[in-house]
């Protein structure tokens, strides 16, 4: 079964800002998610940010995080944030958007 990918509007803007090489790597990972949404690692409490129920997958040699959510019984994967690991950027953005 193929899952439909939905982007949070701000996550879509984050992807748009990436250079083309990195965008390609991000979309490659997102394509994998559309086929296997359980591929990423489950998130929980990250330095006081409650991201329970969300998952992450890496891109660009683990420099970027793609934070997403999907629920069993649905056909959607929602991309919440795409950002760098440094300073917990991706996690902070995801926590603001949920």
- pTM for this predicted structure: 0.91
Region class of 80: left (phi > 0), else alpha (psi between -120 and 50), else beta: alpha
Tokens for 40? 């990423």
69-94 confidence digits (pLDDT tens): 998 788 999 999 999 988 899 999 99
Sketch out the chain's domains with CATH numbers. Answer: 4-97 (3.30.2310.20)
20-75 confidence digits (pLDDT tens): 999 999 999 999 999 999 999 999 997 889 999 999 999 999 999 999 999 878 89
């Amino acid at each position: 079964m193929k899952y439909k990918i939905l982007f949070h509007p701000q996550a879509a803007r984050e992807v748009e800002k990436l250079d083309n090489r990195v965008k390609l790597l991000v979309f490659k990972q997102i394509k994998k998610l559309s086929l296997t949404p359980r591929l990423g690692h489950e998130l929980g409490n990250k330095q006081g940010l409650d991201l329970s129920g969300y998952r992450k997958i890496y891109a660009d040699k683990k420099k970027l995080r793609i934070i997403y959510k999907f629920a069993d019984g649905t056909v959607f994967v929602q991309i919440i944030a795409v950002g760098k690991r440094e300073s917990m950027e991706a996690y902070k953005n995801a926590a603001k958007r949920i």
